[in-house]
Chains A and B, each alone.
Chain A
């Protein structure tokens, strides 16, 4: 077993430490909170300027956004329902990102996961409900996992760029869904909006006790926690982080990089596929074009805002779910286009990427520099 060298060249001189260890620990951790939060504030400020420039009141806009997304128990439930697929869609970006891959085609895995789940649910009509729901979940995960796993395999074994291939695969997946939903899987009764046969009520996933938010939210939160444990606390996660830092170093260490990449992308796609299954089983009741609602694309933003940390995805998905949820109210109350929310999301995305340049630049977050200046 080769020795792993850590903390190379730490300029720490023991004994000369003049600050409590707890303070230093907090300072190092603070950077990961302060910079993204500051970026969020700057992004919102820039968006205020944009709203001013088109002749509306930013105060009224944010007030409407608060009311539409977070201000009441009713709107909060709406936001949480939208956060559920975002959690899983964001994992589809965050897990491969740990290996240094930028996968942006989660939408395709969501769509195919939904179709596979709907097909499984209608084929098993008459079987006890818990088995059917389980099989639907497995089918959705398998469809999404194969789709994004293939992106990972192409990346590793053929050196095909994963960013472009995953988005192409998303377009192909949507075409495939349209073909299936309008052809072999079509319910003849769905006239205006071609859909698969509706699921029987006993196969639908209901709301969690005490609220009008379906169980998909709990599934998403559990998936985030499991992903965090996988990345931070297991040897596979450790290996993935090494491979993400330097593929050659990982190969020299004898890590099976190919299996890691296919495994992580497959799991990532599986989570997105599960999001599709939940949309079918808990929201739509059948697979149709509504599956391509853009959760896959908003999920990219969630993952980047959370800096690919699965635990941070939970609050960020809630925030973005709320912004999404308030879109309709902003449109009605302020006479602004429905794309207003997209503009805000785009601005936040750019600012958060720009903020990457500030990591390591501030002395306050780096106790090593406190010592050196003494």
Chain B
């Protein structure tokens, strides 16, 4: 079959492929944020963590030649940012939302500072698995060229969904998130649990950043993330703090993000910038549709400042 022969079918196909490609960082950031928010804190700084993770992964991959070492570096950097947020928020009157905004700016600033020498050189990519090899159509092959991290993210979503319900650790995070007093009565230290939960959340966001710079779009620039980290936070609320919901919502957002490029590929260039804004508009519409002033959100952790 001729490459151009599939015509407009290329649009949904490109959106599907785009959804898989674009959604991966959303999956990791939103799963990380879900863990943090379940423990009763919100970390808006994941946007900065994502950018710094992207830079750290790219830099380490350039220097060592191994994208996997880059991934580890990004996760470690994310862990440090997360632990810092978790530590500083335990002090009285230190606001977790405001610290998140500060870390958003600080993380991006640090990434731009150290990332300057790495804008030119190219790093090895993370490998992809050609799940579309059965087809002769190049668009299908391109759409189903799935990165390992996407599959790991999917598995992680299922695991977290199970772990929140069925493991001791999952129960501890939920108790701390619902009531600090109840947690203390059980002999748990809420600050320690939140410290760990925010650290893990940061590490996952760092991995999301590594995906950005080492696979798609696959290079380090200062514009690598434009609000993905922040949208992922909104997405967690939409997903009602359910890891499986986070995964589904991430795919939806990925598809919205792929809309502009997909239409452009078949020659629709009118309103390109508005299609580019589709994920932001979608996030906003979803937030409006799912919030309500009269009832609290089902499944919301009781200690979460953002829904109080």
A residues with CB within 8 A of B: 102, 104, 154, 156-161, 163-165, 167-169, 171-172, 175-176, 178-179, 182, 297, 300-301, 304, 337-340, 342-343, 345-347, 349-350, 353-354, 356-357, 359
Contact = CB atoms under 8 A, between A and B. Distances in A.
Scoring B112, B231, B274, B277 by chain A CB atoms within 10 A of each residue's CB, the highest score goes to B277
Q: Is the interface of B mostly helix, strand, loop or mixed?
A: helix
B110 to A, nearest CB: 6
A350 B283 contact: no
B292 A159 contact: yes
Interface stretch (B16-24, B98-106, B123-131): B98-106
A339 B112 contact: yes
Given A159-B293, A175-B273, A350 B108 contact: no
B280 A172 contact: yes
B110 A346 contact: yes
Given A337-B112, A342-B108, A353 B99 contact: yes
Interface string B265-283: 0000001111011001101
Interface stretch (B4-12, B87-95, B152-160, B199-207): B87-95
Nearest to B289: A158
Given A164-B233, A172-B280, A304-B98, A158 B112 contact: no
Contact of B230 (A164, A297, A304, A340): A164
A159 B300 CA distance: 14
Given A339-B112, A339-B113, A346-B106, A171 B93 contact: no
Contact of A168 (B109, B227, B276): B227
Given A164-B234, A178-B273, A171 B97 contact: no
Given A156-B293, A168-B287, 18 more contacts: A154-B288, A158-B293, A160-B288, A163-B44, A163-B97, A164-B44, A172-B281, A179-B273, A297-B105, A300-B101, A343-B106, A346-B103, A346-B109, A347-B106, A349-B105, A349-B106, A357-B92, A359-B93
Contact of B288 (A158, A300, A357): A158
Contacts of B99: 350, 353
Interface residues of B, number: 45
Nearest to A360: B93
Contacts of A337: 112-113, 116
Nearest to A300: B101
Nearest to A342: B109
Interface of B: 44, 88, 91-95, 97-99, 101-103, 105-110, 112-113, 116, 226-227, 230-231, 233-234, 237, 271-274, 276-277, 280-281, 283-284, 287-288, 291-293, 306
A115 to B, nearest CB: 13
Pairs A-B, 6 closest by C-beta atoms: A346-B106, A342-B109, A339-B112, A175-B277, A349-B102, A179-B273
B292 A158 contact: yes
8 contacts: A161-B234, A161-B306, A168-B231, A175-B273, A342-B109, A343-B106, A346-B102, A347-B106
Given A175-B273, A176-B277, A346 B105 contact: yes
Given A179-B274, A343-B109, A104 B116 contact: no
Given A168-B234, A172-B281, A350 B106 contact: yes
B9 to A, nearest CB: 28
Q: Is the interface of A mostly helix, strand, loop or mixed?
A: helix
Contacts of B281: 172
Contacts of B101: 102, 104, 163, 300, 349
Nearest to A104: B101
A182 B288 contact: no
A339 B110 CA distance: 7
A357 B109 contact: no
Nearest to B282: A168
Contacts of B271: 179
Given A165-B284, A353-B94, A171 B105 contact: no
A104 B288 CA distance: 18
A168 B95 CA distance: 21
A340 B113 contact: yes
Contacts of B277: 171-172, 175-176
B53 to A, nearest CB: 16
A172 B284 contact: yes
Contacts of A345: 105, 109
B287 A182 contact: no
Contacts of B233: 164
A258 to B, nearest CB: 10
A175 B274 contact: yes
B252 to A, nearest CB: 16
A161 B284 contact: no
B306 A167 contact: no
Contacts of A179: 271-274
A100 to B, nearest CB: 11
A350 B227 contact: no
B92 A167 contact: no
A337 to B, nearest CB: 4
A368 B32 CA distance: 46
A330 to B, nearest CB: 12
B88 A354 contact: yes
A168 B102 contact: no
Scoring B107, B108, B113, B281 by chain A CB atoms within 10 A of each residue's CB, the highest score goes to B113
Contacts of A353: 88, 94-95, 98-99, 102
A178 B190 CA distance: 46
B306 A168 contact: no
